[in-house]
Structure 1
Amino acid sequence: MSGALRRRAAVGAISLILAVPLGLAAPSAAGAAEKPAAKTVAQLQQDYRNLNGLRLKNLDGSSGVYVIIDGKRFGVPDMVTYNNLWSNWNVIPVIDLYNIPYGGHLSHDAHLISSPSSDTVWLLSNGQKRGITGRAFAKYEFDGNKIQSVRDIVLGAIPQGPNLDL
């Protein structure tokens, strides 16, 4: 499958994931016949954690780039920050990015860090470090060449947030 075809398939799949819970598309012919009388708040809430690691932008170009972390979209504030974390532009355009809950923005100059005494790689953003497992590192497509080494005492002084999950 070519890169362009793969991107189109991903755009279609993500757009469908976003459209079904909003009632913009029916999940199946059988599901379309079963309409509840009224939707509750719980039914309107969608779990977007299956999109963790993806970098997205609106198809119409009306937004910047967002990365999905913990099922929420986090804005990438600028090119410096983007280039601190990734080496490629595997950003997927979607129909309506704003359906995904907003989690804030990565801090300007967020980056990847580690210390010589540990194999753990951390995402440093907004004054906290978040551990990244090997599987999460691969799914988020972080660039291993961008990891900055810090002394153990510096790493220990940074508050720890939740690890990045898949």
Structure 2
Amino acid sequence: MNTRTFRSCAALTVTALAAVTAGLTAQTATAASPASSASRGAAQVVEGAGELFPELNGMRIQAAGSVDVYLVLDGKRHLIPSPVTYDALFRGTEGIRRVLTVDNIADGGPLTAYAYLARTADDPTVYLVSNGLKREITPAAMDTFGFDPRKVRTTYDWVLAALPSAALPTGRTT
């Protein structure tokens, strides 16, 4: 086989594989992901919106070929809406996990633009403030999630007291 024929066959093979992969992305991602049903046990299915993956809590994930980064909270993916919001919360980008797809993880909606970490001057408890809610962040979760302690804002106690509480993220256990 000459070089020209080889290149044509290779291009045809790559095109065929791309077409097959595009049609089976969701099925392949579910079967090939490290959190597949064989390794994670039973996952809760959210009607029409993917599955809950609480064992992924704290992970920052990014689908292949996408610029969008998500934070997994309560087993759901939450879009981090901008680089400004990302930089206000996290230490760096080295903790982002690249995955084939995020479509199999239930969508929890985006974090608020300009979400932030806050505490009061007289209480060391840190909260993630987003979507009109405060979510307590334990010291273990602070590390697991990759939050940057230098980016915690000190605010008035009445500001945090006025916000309803969301669920406590416990971080991953493994």
Q: Name the TM-score, length of structure 1 as normaliser.
A: 0.73
CA distance in 2, matches of 1:55, 1:84: 14
Is structure 2 residue 83 aligned with structure 1 residue 66?
A: no
CA distance in 1, matches of 2:166, 2:76: 15
Q: Deviations over 1:34-83 (max 9, x none)?
A: xxxxxxx79xx75411111111011222x500000010000000111101
Is structure 2 residue 145 aligned with structure 1 residue 104?
A: no
Matches within 5 A, 1:39-78: 46-61=51-66, 64-78=68-82
Partner SS, residue 33 of structure 2: helix
Q: Higher strand fraction: Structure 1 or Structure 2?
A: 2
Larger Cα-atom Rg: 2
CA distance in 2, matches of 1:16, 1:156: 40
The one-letter code sitting in structure 2 at the alignment partner of 1:16 is: S
| Contact 2:119–2:127 (CA under 8 A) maintained in structure 1 | yes
Is structure 2 residue 131 aligned with structure 1 residue 126?
A: yes
Identify the residue that residue 16 of structure 2 maps to in structure 1: none
Matches within 5 A, 1:83-162: 83-89=87-93, 90-162=95-167
The one-letter code sitting in structure 2 at the alignment partner of 1:59 is: A
Partner SS, residue 104 of structure 1: coil
Gaps of 5+ in 2: 1-31, 40-44
CA distance in 1, matches of 2:143, 2:91: 13
Number of residue-to-residue matches in the alignment: 134
1:134 deviation in Å?
1.0
Q: Return closer, same or farther for 1:155/1:161 CA change in 2, 3 Å cut-off.
A: same
Q: Deviations over 1:108-145 (max 9, x none)?
A: 00000000111100000001100011111110010000
Q: Which runs of 4+ in 1 moved over 6 A?
A: none
1:17 deviation in Å?
2.8
Q: Name the TM-score, length of structure 2 as normaliser.
A: 0.70
CA distance in 1, matches of 2:134, 2:83: 21
Gaps of 5+ in 1: 1-14, 22-26, 29-40
CA distance in 2, matches of 1:60, 1:155: 38
Partner SS, residue 168 of structure 2: coil
Structure 1 vs Structure 2 CA RMSD: 2.5
The one-letter code sitting in structure 2 at the alignment partner of 1:93 is: R
